[in-house]
Amino acid sequence: MKKKICVLFVLLLSLTLFGYSQEGLKVFISVDMEGVCGVVHWEDVSRSGKDYGLFRRLMTEETNAAIEGALAAGATEILVRDSHGSARNILPDLLHPSAELIRDWAYSPLSMMEGIDETFDAVIFIGYHARANTPDATLDHTMSSSAVYEVTLNGKKMPEAGINAFIAGNFRVPVVLVAGDKAICQQVTELFGEVETVAVKEGIGNAAKMLHPKKAQELIKKKTTEALNRVSDFKPFTFTPPYTMDVTFRDEWRAEDASWFPGAKRKTSTTVSYTSNDWMDVLRFFKFAF
Ligand SMILES: [Zn+2]
């Protein structure tokens, strides 16, 4: 009898240590395109670009790598949000059948995080890129490739990954892994502290040195499993309210336009500021700012 209890104890302990606790994970994956391995130019990520077909396949394959990594860690529900341009890039028939996909824009303030809620355990960003005006970064921009110069939230400079992590954070869901170029990996590490990253390429001015796409996908799969196996180590990305978002535009007229949002204040000729205790109000301002 004593021996049986001992065996049971060891079994329970090993289940807890080696994956049992991860069973039933619900994972949200937001996928952008500029940070996918191979991509260096706007043509690569535009529907009219000659090589767009190749890069949307690679975007789909990187997403599949994250899905396979999540399944290996015990994920049972995976939602993929196509977050780039038209939001109709990922090839639905090539996407891993274990995942569901959100295509096109709903035009809600959740934007690149459409579908997220408090029932998820972890968020993953694939194909992400650095904030606007980052040196040695591939296709760096913040939400708009032409309108926005800089976005700050409570004084911190935000890449899209920061704004999207803030959305997830308000649902108490942490970002556990970010894949993209080296510059975004550095920016999210500075912002979030604990986060797994996969740098699939490194910017050299406008050029980039990159891994082979298959190698990048192997790393994404491996690191996703590792991150989800220690999901409790990651904390939701939040700020203490009130929340203040400053948006600096490249053109003065956009600041004039945004300053008419109820409650918004114009700080300089090109910067408009908005403060609220309600994080969704801040997202509303951001949605209507440009
Ligand atoms: Zn994009």
- pLDDT-derived band at 282 (thresholds 50, 70, 90) equals very high
Q: Give residue 32 CA to ligand 1 midpoint distance, Å.
A: 5
| Residue whose pair of structure tokens reads 């032409």 in the numeric block | 146
Q: Give residue 106 CA to ligand 1 midpoint distance, Å.
A: 16
CA distance 151 to 132: 9
Tell me: the pLDDT tens digits for 108-136? 999 999 999 999 999 999 999 999 999 99
Q: Give residue 180 CA to ligand 1 midpoint distance, Å.
A: 11
Query: What class does CATH assign to 23-147+159-237?
Result: alpha beta
| Residue whose pair of structure tokens reads 């700080």 in the numeric block | 267
- What are 6's two structure tokens? 């001992």
CA distance 40 to 161: 19
Q: Give residue 57 CA to ligand 1 midpoint distance, Å.
A: 15
Q: Give residue 215 CA to ligand 1 midpoint distance, Å.
A: 22
Q: Give residue 7 CA to ligand 1 midpoint distance, Å.
A: 52
Rounded mean pLDDT, 40-59:
98
Phi then psi for 149, rounded to 5 degrees?
-90, -40
pTM of the model: 0.92
The 3-class secondary structure across the chain, one letter per residue, is: CHHHHHHHHHHHHHHHHCCHHHCCEEEEEEECCCCCCCCCCHHHHCCCCCCHHHHHHHHHHHHHHHHHHHHHCCEEEEEEEECCCCCCCCCCCCCCCCEEEECCCCCCCCHHHCCCCCCCCEEEEEEECCCCCCCCCCCCCECECCCEEEEEECCEECCHHHHHHHHHHHCCCCEEEEEEEHHHHHHHHHHHCCCEEEEEEEEECCEEEECCHHHHHHHHHHHHHHHHHCHHHCCCCCCCCCEEEEEEECCHHHHHHHCCCCCCEECCCCEEEEEECCHHHHHHHHHHHC
Q: Give residue 94 CA to ligand 1 midpoint distance, Å.
A: 20
Q: Give residue 278 CA to ligand 1 midpoint distance, Å.
A: 27
Q: Give residue 60 CA to ligand 1 midpoint distance, Å.
A: 14
Q: Give residue 253 CA to ligand 1 midpoint distance, Å.
A: 24
Of 185, 171, 176, 162, nearest in space to 232 by CA: 176
Provide the CATH number for the domain formed by 240-290 in this structure. Answer: 3.30.1360.130
Of 32, 66, 35, nearest in space to 228 by CA: 66
CA distance 210 to 55: 14
Q: Give residue 4 CA to ligand 1 midpoint distance, Å.
A: 56
Q: Give residue 33 CA to ligand 1 midpoint distance, Å.
A: 5
pLDDT at 4: 52
Rounded mean pLDDT, 79-107:
98
Q: Which range, of 10-24, 88-102, 109-123, 245-259, averages the lowest pLDDT?
A: 10-24
- pLDDT-derived band at 211 (thresholds 50, 70, 90) equals very high
Rounded mean pLDDT, 15-31:
73
Is a pLDDT exceeding 90 seen at residue 179? yes
Structural domain spans, the chain: 23-147+159-237, 240-290
Q: Give residue 164 CA to ligand 1 midpoint distance, Å.
A: 13
Q: Give residue 45 CA to ligand 1 midpoint distance, Å.
A: 8
pLDDT at 237: 98
